Amino acid sequence: GQQVMQIPQYQHVQEGEDFTTYCNSSTTLSNIQWYKQRPGGHPVFLIQLVKSGEVKKQKRLTFQFGEAKKNSSLHITATQTTDVGTYFCAAHNTNAGKSTFGDGTTLTVKP
């Protein structure tokens, strides 16, 4: 079945440093979604990318979808302690409803 690999598994940064997590698939994706899960919380939707080469920004967060629609990245500029959590990418088969999540990247930010 569809597999989505996400790296790194963990990232520790000093507050103010940048952070990037990468998501890779062996197959072409119809879309990619990103979620954030705070410690002890539930996943919360951040964004969905659909188009090849798409780039979307949300304040300090930049999301990219690769040209071949097989990879995606989330970049956070100048991390803050509020960015702490686990970031997941997820691929959805829109027609069939199946959903595959990456294993997540857990970000810790040292003040």
Return residues touching other proteins (CB under 8 A).
1, 6, 9, 31, 33, 35, 42-45, 48, 88, 90, 92, 94, 96-104
Q: In angstroms, what is the minimal distance from the CB of 19 to other proteins? A: 18
Nearer to other proteins, 48 or 77 (CB): 48
Q: In angstroms, what is the minimal distance from the CB of 84 to other proteins? A: 17
Nearer to other proteins, 43 or 85 (CB): 43
Q: In angstroms, what is the minimal distance from the CB of 85 to other proteins? A: 13
CB atoms within 10 A of CB 32: 28
Token digits of residue 105: 């990247």
Contacts for 41 with CB less than 8 Å, ≥ 6 apart = 85
Strands 105-110 vs 10-14: parallel, antiparallel or unpaired: parallel
Length of the chain: 111
